[in-house]
Amino acid sequence: MTKKLYIETVGCQMNMLDSEMVVASLRKKGYELTDSTDDADTILFNTCSVREHAEHKTYSALGRLREHKKLNPHKVIGVMGCMAQKDQKLIFEKAPYVDIVVGPGQLQQIPDLIEKVKSDSGQYTAVSLGRKNGSLEQIKRSHETFDPLRDPTMRPTPFQAYLRIQIGCDKFCTYCIVPMTRGPEQGRPPKEILDEAKILADQGCKEITLVGQTVNSYKHKDDSGTTRLSGLLQQLHEIEGLQRLKFVTNYPKDMTTDLLETIRDYPKISKYIHVPLQSGSNDVLKRMKRGYTVEDYRDMMARIHDTIPGAAISSDFIVGFCGETEEEFQETVKLTKECRFKNSFIFKYSERPGTKGAEVFPDDIPDEIKKRRNNELLAVQNQISEEDNQQFLGQQVEVLVEGPSKWAKQNGDPDAQVLQLTGRTNCDRIVVFDGNQRLAGQLMKIAIYEVTSFTLLGTVVTDHQVPTLNTISV
């Protein structure tokens, strides 16, 4: 009999990948996906701890399952991912009907844990060692990767995939919980990555996004030497069928010139670099323990622009970090105007218990001020994005067609042949145009006639020569 799995995923690309792996392992045990918690035999939440808001949402969703469990005590409810690693037993205290709590380093145990719950109705926790609870080797070993198994139906599209090249993080920015939930930084062996990329390409994947918390710090040592991101990209570039290579997220201090030259010289590599600045104030950067100054970041920007003309650069920011004065925030606004990012993700600081920031700095900026700073910086960024997009007016861009746009998915007739479609340029700009659904997965030329802060609007360019028609005399 088929069993039904409901899985809800929040958070970063790492979590998307983790869900792919878990779904693949459960399919092997006879599970099918369902989009209703009512139908499901097993309900899993893949959680995020980066901001408190994400955790609140998960706890509310869990709250709604209380009745489910009363009506059907055999339903298995599991919490996996970063919040599972961070909160552990607290999850059982807040939601006693949860059956399993599984950290991101133990996901391969999920099928067995579900079976155990079914046989003895027990509650199980599987988590990694904390960052102070063992030797580095022991801690590393307790964060197992789980990558060879994948479920193609869970990918963003059939022709796009994420590929993890690194787990964990060793930077310990004072605001960030990730080094605690995902453990020490570890680069996957290049052979494993290349083998997985080849399988993806054979399955029809055209674009691979390499993921790591600090993807450009990637390093793997073995008998044949040390491989870094630049070398890995060069090897991936050889794989037939792959047309685009992207990588997220970058750490400013590790943006080496050999990586920039590789991006410049290998055409399949996206000339798009997401490299979070977080703040434009040296004092705030110091409190965040980001490991670079405004001057270092400026130098890095100059090196990127000198090496890769036309590169698109995007950033993340945290506003309202502990003690952030108005002057310090205005320094961020000023640097944003100077850097002219393609786009920025802006977050209000959220104190995370377990981080150095929560331990040593009071979260002293009122929410109202955080909100105002968030909106102000967003308005500055949106104006820059819109001005930046003007350069594409009247130009042709190459787009990997992803499928129906968000608007078409909600409002369009799914059976219509011609729909509003969406795709991205190699520099990660979103393009919207009308076209046949069958174009999904193809690289197309689009002529741009309108732009907004977030989107380029265009029409498909058809290069075909009009054949001379023979006149048929009747």
Q: Is 456 left (phi over 0), alpha (psi -120 to 50) or beta?
A: beta
Q: Which residues contact 346 (CB under 8 A, 6 or more apart)?
A: 316, 317, 319, 374, 377, 378, 381
Q: Which is nearer to ligand SF4, 279 or 385 (CB)?
A: 279
Q: Which residues bind ligand SF4 (CB under 6 A)?
A: 169, 171-173, 176, 178-179, 213-214, 251
CB of 337 to ligand SF4, least distance (A): 23
Q: Which two tokens stand for residue 306?
A: 């000198």
Q: Residue 162, SS3?
A: strand
- Residue 213: contacted member of ligand SF4, ligand 5AD, none (CB under 5 to 8 Å, by partner type): ligand SF4
- Least distance (Å) from ligand SF4 to the CB of residue 170? 8
**Rounded to whole angstroms, how far apart are CA atoms 271 and 33?**
36
DSSP, collapsed to helix, strand or coil, labels residue 321 as coil
Query: In the complex, what is the shortest distance from the CB of residue 316 to ligand 5AD, in angstroms, rounded to a whole number?
Result: 3
Residues in 258-277 at the binding interface with ligand 5AD, rule: CB under 6 A: 276
Give the separation between CA 85 and CA 96, rounded to whole angstroms. Answer: 17
Q: Which is closer to ligand 5AD, CB of 193 or CB of 318?
A: 318
How far does Cα 90 stand from its chain's mean position? 27
Count of residues in contact with ligand 5AD, rule CB under 6 A: 12
Answer with the entry of ligand 5AD, ligand SF4, none that 352 interacts with (C-beta below 5 to 8 A by kind): ligand 5AD
Q: Which does 318 bind (CB under 5 to 8 A by kind): ligand SF4, ligand 5AD, none?
A: ligand 5AD
Residue among 75 and 352 whose Cβ is closer to ligand 5AD: 352
Neighbours of 337 (CB within 10 A): 14
* Beta-bridge partners for 32: 4
* Residue 438, number of CB atoms within 10 A of its CB: 9
CA atoms in the 13 A half-sphere facing the CB of 299: 11
Closest CA to 148 of 108, 208, 101: 108
Q: How far is the CB of 175 from ligand SF4 (least distance, A)?
A: 7
| Shortest distance in whole angstroms from residue 371 CB to ligand SF4 | 22
Q: Distance (Å, rounded) from C-alpha 468 to C-alpha 461?
A: 20
Residue 374, binding choice from ligand 5AD, ligand SF4, none, Cβ under 5 to 8 Å by partner class: none
Q: Which is nearer to ligand 5AD, 11 or 78 (CB)?
A: 11
Burial class of 391 by CB neighbour count within 10 A (0 to 12, 13 to 18, 19+): exposed
Least Cβ distance, residue 270 to ligand SF4 (angstroms): 20
Among ligand 5AD, ligand SF4, none, what binds residue 247 when CB lies within 5 to 8 Å by partner kind? none
- 160 vs 344 by CB, closer to ligand 5AD: 344
Comparing CA positions, the residue from 124, 128, 125, 170 lying closest to residue 145 is: 128
Residue 431 binds which of ligand 5AD, ligand SF4, none (CB < 5-8 A, kind-dependent): none
Q: Which of residues 408-467 bind ligand 5AD (CB under 6 A)?
A: none
285 touches 322 (CB < 8 A) = no
Q: Does 290 bind ligand 5AD (CB under 6 A)?
A: no
- Count of H-run helices and E-run strands, the chain: 17, 21
Q: Which is nearer to ligand SF4, 78 or 168 (CB)?
A: 168
Q: Least distance in Å: CB of 157 to ligand SF4?
A: 26
Give, as ranges, the residues between 300 and 359 that touch ligand 5AD (CB under 6 A): 316, 318, 347, 349-350, 352
Looking at residues 141 to 200 of the shown chain, list those that interact with ligand 5AD (rule: CB under 6 A).
175-176
Pairing of strands 225-228, 100-102: unpaired
Least distance (Å) from ligand SF4 to the CB of residue 179? 5
148 vs 353 by CB, closer to ligand SF4: 353
Footprint of ligand 5AD on residues 39-58 (CB under 6 A)?
Answer: 50-51
Asked if 277 and 240 count as a contact pair (C-beta separation under 8 A), the reply is no
Q: What does the alpha-carbon distance between residue 182 and residue 106 come to, in Å, rounded to a whole number?
A: 11
Binding residues (CB under 6 A) for ligand 5AD: these are 50-51, 175-176, 276, 278, 316, 318, 347, 349-350, 352
